[in-house]
Amino acid sequence: MCRITAGTAVNNYYTEKCLVKQLCYIDRVLSYLGIVFMRFIIAFFLSFLLLGQQFSYADFPIQGRFSINDCQAYTSIRSKSQPVSLKPSQVYQAVGLNKEGGDFVSIKVDGANKWVNKNCGQLTLTGTNSDNSKPTPNNNNTGTKPTPSENYLLAISWQPAFCETHANKVECLDETETSYDATNFTLHGLWPDKLSYCGVSASDIKKDETGNWKDLPPISTDAETASELSKVMPGVKSYLDRHEWYKHGTCDGRNADGYFDIAIDLVKEINASNVRSLFAQNIGKTLSLAEVQKAYEKTFGPGTAKSMNLKCSNGLATELRVKIKRPLAGQKLGELLIPSGGTSCDKVKVDPVGVGT
């Protein structure tokens, strides 16, 4: 440090020289602090941007499979960046959730991690970091019945839209304007939460996951159930009933006859509702989510639309997904409805029979 004294010309000279040095020192300090402050501001701003993006690095790692219905996956949950279309019925490796019990699944798509909404398919866990989020063990082949799920998802399809992308399937080749499925909803599946392939052999799981449904063992139902199922589930012609039974029905705790009887009755209720009437009266036209919700609540009561999600692909209505409590024989759909928390399309076109119509 400079020692400043006064009283002589020499001292005044050194005093001025010392003051200049101190001012230079202070200037350097302030410049340094300014750089540090700017770096802090830049770092804070970048952190804010990056945290908001939620790139596809799972916050809650899992091991499992995710079977896709019809959806897109993204690099970022919030901004929905770099979307990729996922192949219906394709099974992807699931590596994580956005949080424990989260609504988004991180899957591997061509080697990259992508986020997809859990409601876009069926998640089957084979391992996880938390015992609380593990599904009930199901592939034990011990012959014991699994503990039934408390909640289910009822998936019902608008068949003409399905056939737009599956035109070569037998049920689509047979579809005409007078077919039952031209103006009615059809059964896709009745899915117990967090369970799949209960007591099913590894070889049958492989057949199912690779789409070799014809090679799965035939399911046992009585003649009446088989007849009604072939009507409300046109996919029986492509062995969809076997796929649904081995993947989901085996975890229901009832036999195939009881399981499908309940599913058939639930679909019949939807087809007797104002929702089905709304769709049938607007074939070839566009409906809003609000219109569908209004028709749904007109049948099932105020507030029940929270249990239903309207799904679409390329602007076409493809499915209704209805969240319910575990259904028992004879129970009405209105008694079972619970909030789903899923996502819906805002507007959909009701597709008529015929590809590209």
pLDDT, tens digit (0-9, with 9 covering 90-100), for 177-186: 999 999 999 9
Domain 60-133 has CATH 2.60.120.10: no
Mean pLDDT of 256-285: 97
CB 124 within 8 A of CB 105: no
Residue 222 has pLDDT above 50, yes or no: yes
In this structure, of 6-15, 225-234, 314-323, 336-345, the range with the lowest mean pLDDT score is: 6-15
Which pLDDT score is estimated for 81?
74
Q: What is the pLDDT of residues 296-327, one digit of tens each?
A: 999 999 999 999 999 999 999 999 999 999 99
Question: What's the CA gap between 98 and 76, in Å, rounded?
Answer: 11
Residue 200 has pLDDT above 80, yes or no: yes
What is the pLDDT confidence band of residue 41, given thresholds at 50, 70 and 90? low
Domain 151-349 has CATH 2.60.40.740: no
Mean pLDDT of 197-206: 96
In this structure, of 130-144, 185-199, 332-346, the range with the lowest mean pLDDT score is: 130-144
Question: What's the CA gap between 118 and 66, in Å, rounded?
Answer: 9
Mean residue pLDDT across the chain = 82
CB 95 within 8 A of CB 113: yes
Secondary structure (H, E, C), the chain:
CCCCCCCCHHHHHHHHHHHHHHHHHHHHHHHHHHHHHHHHHHHHHHHHHHHHHCECCCCEEEEEEEEECCCEEECECCCCCCCEECCCCCEEEEEEECCCCCCEEEEEECCEEEEEEHHHEEEEEEEECCHHHCCCCCCCCCCCCCCCCCEEEEEEECHHHHHHCCCCCHHHHCCCCCCHHHHCCEEEEEEECCCCCCCCCHHHHHHHHCCCHHHCCCCCCCHHHHHHHHHHCHHHHHCHHHHHHHHCHHHCCCCHHHHHHHHHHHHHHHHCCHHHHHHHHCCCCEEEHHHHHHHHHHHHCCCHHHHEEEEEECCEEEEEEEEEECCCCCCCHHHHECCCCCCCCCEEECCCCCCCC
Which pLDDT score is estimated for 119?
77
Mean pLDDT of 25-48: 56
CB 154 within 8 A of CB 190: yes
Instruction: Report domain extents, the chain.
Output: 1-50, 60-133, 151-349
Which pLDDT score is estimated for 54?
42
